[in-house]
Amino acid sequence: MGPGLYLHVPFCLRKCAYCAFFSRPAEPAAVQSWQAGIERELKALPAEFAPETIFIGGGTPTALEPDDLGRLLDGIHNHTDIRNVVEWTCEANPGTLTPEKAVLLRAAGVNRLSIGAQSFDDATLRRLGRMHSAAETSASAALAREAGFEHLGLDLIYGIPGVRGDSFEADVEAALALAPEHVSCYCLEIEDGTPLARAAAAGDLAIDEAEQRRQFEQARRRLGEAGLAAYEISNFARPGCECRHNQLYWSGGDYIGIGPAAHSHWNGVRWGHTAELAGWKRAFEEKLEPAAKARETLVMGLRRTAGWGREEFRKATGFDYDVLRGPEIARLAAEGRLVAEPDRIRLADEALFVSDGVFAELV
Ligand code: SF4
């Protein structure tokens, strides 16, 4: 799979209660200096860099005013070799996507819109600190279709304290009613420094892991029945609508991330940027030792439902996974946490919800 380009748009209307991503209010001066930084980085992309996927993420890319969004898209067109691009995604949040912005994105070549629905229950949305209502999510999906988007993704959050199983089931049904090509279902994480973490520390939030697991399994079953097959722990798609850009991350591919807090992996070097609105620089840069990189790729690829084929892994890393981690693989298979066939390994269904424990033993 060819390389990918990621652009980080670090602006949101307001901070959600659970969010630890780098984002700030979209004040005009901040947007202008961020744009200048993005253009500098676009101009400095390696001459041979011709991405097959582009992912504009955030933050909330659609928090940008139409002029700023247009300038960003022009910058990509003017300074990037986009001839090989087959998938171009932009994240959007309900309440910030207008018909004008949707048309602008589509006309620029964006062919996949990923909408942060999170829940279709207004009380839950308020508890999460989201800025939008469920009705606005449906309206965003409709206007994306009108603008010509044939590939729509919806993000949902499960395992929210106080949200009962039947309410989450209703979220999944409401998402399906919008006929998305792709659904991502993430477990609510309590991230340090967020209002949710403070509520948890004060004893106001009780995480119910058994309920989280029930909701995870219910989503997997229901989305599968509706034709959205699980292809990664948290991701579901109609056949052929899997997100190529994310598959690049899971298969150890090359990508360049531009913007604050963005990460890159290019030609065996990995680096990440500081989280600053202007003048971001490399916070770290490391050359990866081949076996360590291969172990990391092993774990990332096991996030995919299909796991790793032996030959595919050898091609991607130069290693046989049994040479890297043979005894651990055999033990995890004996414990029923991995399925090991002669030439393929994958996570056992029972281990999907507790995959971190498996990965910790393999990396
Ligand atoms: S919209 Fe997304 S990036 Fe912005 S604060 Fe909410 S969760 Fe974080």
Enumerate the domain spans of the chain: 4-249, 290-363
Give the pair of three-digit tokens for residue 273. Answer: 């940027």
Instruction: Select from 87, 79, 90, 2 the least CA-distant residue to 44.
Output: 79
> How far from chain centre, in Å, is Cα 20?
14
What is the sign of the dihedral through the CA atoms of 40, 41, 44 and 47? negative
For the domain with range 290-363, which CATH number is right: 3.40.50.9100, 1.10.10.920, 1.10.3720.10, 2.60.40.10?
1.10.10.920
pLDDT for 206 equals: 83
Question: Is the Cβ atom of 23 under 6 angstroms away from ligand 1?
Answer: yes
From the CB of 60, is ligand 1 less than 6 Å away? yes
**3-state class (DSSP) for residue 187:** strand
Q: Residue 100: how many CB atoms within 10 A of its CB?
A: 14
Q: How many angstroms does the Cα of residue 151 sit away from the middle of ligand 1?
A: 22
Q: Could you tell me the mean pLDDT of each successive run of 10 residues in the chain, 363 residues long?
A: 95 94 92 97 96 97 97 97 97 97 98 98 96 97 98 97 93 98 96 91 88 96 98 98 97 96 94 94 94 95 97 96 96 97 96 93 91
- Choosing among 3.10.20.600, 1.20.140.10, 3.80.30.20, 3.90.79.10, the CATH entry for 4-249 is 3.80.30.20
Residue 16 Cβ < 6 Å to ligand 1: yes
The burial of 201, by beta-carbon neighbours within 10 Å (0-12 exposed, 13-18 middle, 19 or more buried), is given as exposed
CB 41 within 8 A of CB 259: yes
Ligand 1 contacts CB of residue 298 (under 6 A): no
- Alpha-carbon span 288 to 285, nearest angstrom: 10
Using the structure block, give the residue that is written with the tokens 């722990």.
Answer: 233
Closest residue by Cα to atom 3, ligand 1, is 59
Token digits of residue 188: 């609510």
Shortest-distance atom of ligand 1 to CA 118: 7
Query: Which of 19, 119, 137 to mutate for ligand 1's pocket (most ligand atoms within 8 Å of CB)?
Result: 19
Beta strands per DSSP E along 233-314: 235-237, 255-258, 263-266, 269-273, 282-287, 308-309
Q: Is the CB of 188 under 6 A from ligand 1?
A: no
Q: Which atom of ligand 1 sits closest to the CA of residue 15?
A: 5
Q: ∠ CA 4-94-3 to the nearest 5 degrees? A: 0
